[in-house]
């Protein structure tokens, strides 16, 4: 930020220095054409005396634009503030002319301050408005660059998340266990085996899909989680009980892709699958004022140690939340007591998308 402000200072200083030099050259040229002997010293003195005052004035207007830029949803208040800033520049220029007239001789006879002020209004209001417009162009350019950088970072994080999801699904234990379960079910319950293969195919297809959109409706995210849990439910049997507690009003709210699956995966791999006693997984979605709250809770056996992990999944989620929502979204993991571990994601509710593909298990309990 300090580097950007320093660059802005040098840009403003160089611009008005160049402008003052060009204006001085025009004054000398016009003097020659009119038969008036105006030296370069005189022209430079008056030109720099007048135009270099725009350096602090321009910086002040740029500061106002940085603090109160005009944008979507922010129009009248910034316009009012910037209009007052332009009027302040007009008044300051009039005061400067009146005070420095004995030094630079702007007027042969200094008129009343009202006349000086009206002249300043005519001469400076459009110039000040132009500075405000150029400052906005610089602000919008910087915002566009920041958006491009954020999009690039988001795409990188999403690719990392998809690779992690694919790696987990292609992990030998997961894949071999899933295929072994299919082989067993083929002889006992071909329909369940067929559903299991469909779920495995859906998981792999979702992980390999190339999507530029970072968000999708919660119902689609839950559908992916349901495919994963169906495989784990068949594999773990009675050792896994699943409870869906999803408010139907949440289903069309957009959430980041693959925001829930890593949390559910952690609960299965690092807790429930490692205990012999039956475990419970709860997936909950609810609205809390203007926030969407997603909870993933799993039971933990007495004295059960935590399984080692890289923590990459949680870091990736936190990084993506920061890039998408800044400080408005959070992910916290806590031991909720009574043998329960919980992960909670809080997201600001954004305008919902229109994609309603893939039904989710919202009514199940």
Q: Give the residue from 223, 346, 353, 338 showing the smallest Cα distance to 292.
A: 346
Are 76 and 188 members of one domain?
no
Are 137 and 177 members of one domain?
no
Are 210 and 114 members of one domain?
no
Is position 182 within any domain?
yes
The yes-or-no verdict on residue 241 having pLDDT over 70 is yes
pLDDT of amino acid 158: 62
Is position 363 within any domain?
no
Q: Give the residue from 273, 299, 244, 276 showing the smallest Cα distance to 171.
A: 273
Residue 152 CA from chain centroid, whole number: 12
CA distance 119 to 154: 53
Are 304 and 208 members of one domain?
yes
Identify the domain boundary among 112, 147, 182.
147
Are 95 and 211 members of one domain?
no
Written as six digits, the tokens of 355 are: 């994609």
Are 229 and 330 members of one domain?
yes
Residue 17's alpha-carbon distances to 11, 24, 55, 83, in angstroms, are 10, 11, 9, 26
Q: Give the residue from 223, 217, 258 showing the smallest Cα distance to 352.
A: 217
Are 216 and 310 members of one domain?
yes
Long-range contacts, 128-135 (Cβ 8 Å, 24+): 128/57, 128/61, 128/85, 128/86, 128/89, 128/90, 129/86, 131/54, 131/57, 131/58, 131/61, 131/62, 132/61, 132/64, 132/65, 132/82, 132/85, 132/86, 135/61, 135/62, 135/65, 135/66
Q: How confident is the model at residue 53 (pLDDT cuts 50, 70, 90)?
A: very high
Are 341 and 204 members of one domain?
yes
Is position 243 within any domain?
yes
**Non-local CB neighbours of 184 within 8 Å, separated by 6+ positions:** none
Between 298 and 360, the more confident residue is: 298
Are 292 and 180 members of one domain?
yes
Q: How confident is the model at residue 285 (pLDDT cuts 50, 70, 90)?
A: very high
Lowest mean pLDDT among 34-38, 221-225, 243-247, 306-310: 306-310
pLDDT of amino acid 295: 94
pLDDT of amino acid 354: 38
Mean pLDDT, residues 7-17: 89
Is position 111 within any domain?
yes
Are 78 and 142 members of one domain?
yes
Are 331 and 213 members of one domain?
yes
Are 140 and 215 members of one domain?
no
Is position 189 within any domain?
yes
Percent of the chain with pLDDT over 90: 32
Is position 340 within any domain?
yes
pLDDT of amino acid 149: 77
Identify the domain boundary among 81, 112, 147.
147
Write the pLDDT tens digit of every residue in 109-165.
Answer: 889 999 999 999 999 999 999 999 999 898 888 888 877 777 777 666 665 665 455
pLDDT of amino acid 282: 94
pLDDT of amino acid 353: 43
Number of domains in the chain: 2
DSSP code for 287: E
- Cβ–Cβ under 8 Å, residues 349 and 289: no
Question: What is the domain-level CATH number for residue 260?
Answer: 3.30.565.10
Token pair 């195919």 is found at 201
Is position 75 within any domain?
yes
Is position 359 within any domain?
no
Query: Domain range spanning residue 19?
Result: 2-147
pLDDT of amino acid 157: 63
CA distance 347 to 328: 7
Mean pLDDT, residues 215-227: 90
């Amino acid at each position: 930020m300090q580097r950007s402000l320093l660059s802005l200072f040098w840009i403003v200083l160089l611009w008005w220095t160049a402008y003052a030099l060009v204006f001085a050259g025009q004054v000398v040229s016009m003097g020659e054409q009119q038969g008036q002997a105006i030296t370069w010293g005189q022209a430079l003195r008056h030109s720099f005396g007048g135009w270099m005052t725009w350096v602090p004035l321009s910086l002040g207007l740029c500061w106002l634009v940085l603090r109160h830029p005009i944008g979507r949803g922010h129009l009248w208040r910034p316009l009012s503030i910037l209009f007052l800033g332009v009027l302040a520049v007009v008044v300051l220029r009039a005061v400067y002319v009146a005070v420095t007239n004995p030094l630079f001789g702007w007027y042969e006879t200094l008129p009343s301050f009202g006349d000086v002020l009206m002249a300043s209004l005519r001469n400076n209001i459009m110039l000040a408005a132009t500075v405000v417009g150029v400052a906005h162009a610089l602000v919008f350019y910087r915002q566009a660059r920041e958006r491009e950088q954020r999009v690039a970072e988001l795409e990188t994080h999403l690719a990392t998340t998809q690779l992690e999801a694919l790696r987990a699904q292609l992990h030998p234990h997961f894949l071999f266990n899933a295929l072994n379960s299919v082989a067993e079910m083929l002889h006992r319950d071909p329909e369940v085996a067929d559903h299991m293969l469909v779920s495995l195919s859906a998981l792999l297809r979702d992980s390999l899909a190339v999507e530029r959109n970072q968000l999708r409706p919660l119902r689609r995210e839950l559908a992916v989680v349901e495919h994963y849990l169906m495989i784990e439910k068949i594999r773990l049997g009675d050792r896994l009980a699943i409870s869906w507690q999803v408010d139907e009003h949440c289903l069309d709210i957009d959430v980041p892709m693959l925001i829930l699956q890593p949390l559910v995966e952690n609960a299965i791999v690092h807790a429930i699958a490692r205990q012999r006693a039956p475990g419970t997984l709860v997936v909950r979605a609810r609205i809390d004022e203007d926030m969407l709250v997603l909870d993933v809770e799993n039971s933990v056996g007495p004295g059960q140690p935590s399984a080692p992990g890289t923590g990459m999944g949680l870091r990736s989620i936190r990084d993506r939340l920061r890039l998408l929502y800044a400080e408005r979204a959070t992910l916290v993991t806590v031991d909720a007591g009574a043998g329960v571990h919980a992960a909670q994601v809080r997201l600001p509710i954004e305008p919902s998308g229109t994609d309603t593909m893939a039904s989710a298990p919202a009514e199940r309990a």
